[in-house]
Amino acid sequence: MTKLSVNINKIATLRNSRGGDTPNVVQFAKDVQRFGAEGVTIHPRPDERHIRYQDAYDLKPVVYTEYNIEGNPNPKFIDMVLAIKPTQVTLVPDAVDALTSNAGWDTITHKDFLVDVIKQFQAEGIRTSIFVDPELKQIEGAKATGTDRIELYTEAFAHQYGLGNTKAIEPYTKCAELASTLNLGVNAGHDLSLDNIQFFQQNIPGLLEVSIGHALISESLYLGIENVVNMYLNKLKG
């Protein structure tokens, strides 16, 4: 059974756009778990343009499923993760000015750095995952870092699948198979949606977890807007 972890960054983006506390990210995290989500994911960035570092601390007491914190392991991020001790930390090589995650780690070039960071987290009982492109050499490189899991970067698959190219799944399947032989757990995320998630899951052996945010929140707006519009109309009937 593949677990669904809901990335709530977009809720924080909406909150920040008005400067208040609506929608409330802590309440949203409580609600998605109540609705059945098996994890909550956040991805704080240095400029705190969506999830803030304080949010990461505020969420700790209410996430009773799996708490996954993603990010580039700079010193501030490392200190935060070690203080909070989430279920899982997912290491992502974000550039400071990146709009969103756009590449996996070069696990070969950055092996020594990743080894050091992963050891720090694992010493505190925090499961580690590395964000990687679907390349066999990067899976082998990830194994050499000592990580517990990899997270397959799925944007390329999602784009090609949307164009009707189902063969785009093949490198992901091969990487998952290799990860299994190396005793690496497999997670996945980025641009997975209601349109492609079932096909992806059915073709990735041993898929443990998917982290979905942008599509899930967008789909929730579309699929829930009719109900809310009618609730307003009923209120205005007097």
Q: Cβ atoms within 10 A of the Cβ of 52, count? A: 17
Is 43 labeled as catalytic in the residue annotation? yes
Is 190 labeled as catalytic in the residue annotation? yes
Contact present, 83 and 58 (Cβ < 8 Å): no
Token pair 């400067």: residue: 19
Distances from the Cα of 118 to the Cαs of 102, 113, 129, 182, 203, in angstroms? Answer: 21, 9, 9, 17, 29
Residue among 50, 66, 70, 209 flagged as catalytic: 70
Contact present, 196 and 225 (Cβ < 8 Å): no
Three-state SS at 231: helix
Is 70 labeled as catalytic in the residue annotation? yes
Residue among 43, 50, 66, 151 flagged as catalytic: 43
Q: Which residues are catalytic?
A: 43, 70, 190
